[in-house]
Structure 1
Amino acid sequence: MIARRCVLDSNVLMYHLNGVLNDKLEKLLADVLLSDPCVSVITRIEILGWR
Structure 2
Amino acid sequence: MQFLADQSLGNRDQRRVAGFFRDPDKAETARRSTRPDDREFWARYTDFVLKAESLCRE
The structure, 1 or 2, with the larger RCO (C-alpha pairs under 8 Å, 6+ apart) is 1
The alignment's TM-score, normalised by the length of structure 2, stands at 0.37
- The structure with the greater share of residues assigned to strand is 1
